[in-house]
Structure formats: structure tokens, C-alpha cells
Amino acid sequence: MINFNQYKALTFDCYGTLIDWENGILGVLKPLLLAHNTNFDDDQILELFAEFEAEVEKGEYIKYREVLQIVVQKFGERLGFEPTAEELNSLADSIQHWLPFPDTVEALKTLKQNFKLVIISNVDDDLFAFSAKHLEVEFDQIITAEQAKSYKPSLNNFRLAIDRIDLPLEEILHVAASVYHDIVTAKSLGLSTVWVNRRADQKGVNLTGSAISQPDLEVPDLNTLAALSSPKQY
């Protein structure tokens, strides 16, 4: 168990940790693929999305809206169809409708009472602005890929966040669902980490924990984190 009293700031990944990105993605791609005579199950779709997204983000920086357009294009190339202009924009356009996990908002409000809250997200500023409305708390800092001009797991995104937070590393705790994008890099920089393993009780592909790294704490959801971090009453 980690000592929450030493931390002053909690940094969060957004999509997959706070926002239910899997349902957001599937809500767009399942009907899109069906329209092109492809009936994949959820895990197949999510695996391909993760493959295509990582491939695009490793290249020269482009905005996340463009990343998502290329991801849809790659689905078409892999599966033998040509997406329409509307379909190419469908993932990015849908982000404004992606909702938080049921535990997210109340947990953030609880955590806000004791910590500074910071976002470190692979997204554009304008796309995160939509999600911020759903999250219902004021973040002390928001660091996006658009600002960093790079995508996690790049060290650059975390270094920018650390510089802006302006606290010693030992007073910052990073919270994320993706071991690959977040936990490994944060640990390499000396940050303590919490892995929100939302897929712990699910069968199928593990999209977030494939990389080898040991978080300081693993929790199944944000309610658990909020409860563990609350000052104990004696």
C-alpha cells in the first residue's frame, strides 16, 4: 500500500481511465464495419484499433483528429473497403458523446478535495474540451498531445506535465488504465503509479496491460482509489 499523504497532485490519463473509450470506439466502428459487410466481435475491433493507432502515433506528430481519420482508413485498407468522408471523421466526431465510467465523476470530486488534479492525454485540445464537460471537475493542469506535439508513451508528454505541475516527483502520483501508454513511462521518470485495471474481471484481449511494468498500486476502479486515498478518521 502506498502512502497517499506524500502526494499533492494526481495526474490522470483520460480515455480508458476516466472516459469509457472502448464503448465510444465500438459505438462507431461496429456499425461502420457492418455497413461494409464485416461482422467482427468487440475484441477484434479493439485489437485492430490499438494496432492502427499505435502505428500512426509512432510517426511524425499529427493532430489526434487526423490520427483517428487514418485509423478508419486503415480499417478500410485491411478489410477491403473505401470509407466515406463522413466515416473518416466518425471517430473524432463521436468523442464529444463519449461518457465517463459510472464511478469517474464522484471519485474525481472526492479526490479534488485533497489533491491537485492534472490530465495527461493523447488528444487534441478541442476534443478534450468536450470530455471536460462530462467530467464535472476543474483540473489544475491539462496537458494534451497537441501541446506536447507527441503521443504517450513518449517521455516528452510526462516531462511537460512535470514541468508545469512544478512539484517534486515524489509528490506526484500518476493514475492510468494503460500500462503501455502510461505506467511504463511514468515509472521510468521516477513517478509513483496507480494502474486502474478496469479489465481485471473480463475475459478476452488485454489492451492495457501488455507491457511489463509493476505499478505501485492496482485498483479495479476510481471509487477504490478515492476510498484508499481519503484521510482516515479515527
Annotate the chain with three-state secondary structure: CCCHHHCCEEEECCECCCECHHHHHHHHHHHHHHHCCCCCCHHHHHHHHHHHHHHHHCCCCCCHHHHHHHHHHHHHHHHCCCCCHHHHHHHHHHHHHCCECCCHHHHHHHHHCCCEEEEEECCCHHHHHHHHHHHCCCCCEEEEHHHHCCCCCCHHHHHHHHHHHCCCHHHEEEEECCHHHHHHHHHHCCCEEEEECCCCCCCCCCCCCCCCCCCCEEECCHHHHHHHHCCCCC
Maximal C-alpha separation, the chain:
64
Catalytic annotation present for 42: no
**Confidence class of residue 232 from pLDDT cuts 50, 70 and 90?**
low
Question: CA 25 to CA 138: how far, in whole Å?
Answer: 26
Q: Which of 13, 20, 103, 124 is catalytic?
A: 13
Q: What is the pLDDT of residue 212?
A: 57
> CB neighbours of 202 closer than 8 A, spacing ≥ 6?
none
Residue 60, pLDDT above cutoff 90: yes
Give the mean model confidence (pLDDT) for residues 61-81.
98
pLDDT of residue 100: 98
Please state the pTM of the whole predicted model.
Answer: 0.92
Rounded to whole angstroms, the Cα distance separating 181 from 184 reads 7
> pLDDT category, 44, cuts 50, 70, 90?
very high
Residue among 110, 171, 111, 117 nearest 143 (CA):
117
Q: By the 8 A CB rule, do 21 and 181 touch?
A: no
**Are the C-beta atoms of 57 and 151 separated by less than 8 Å?**
yes
* Cα–Cα distance, 141 to 229 (Å, whole number): 20
Percentage of the chain lying above the pLDDT 90 cut: 90
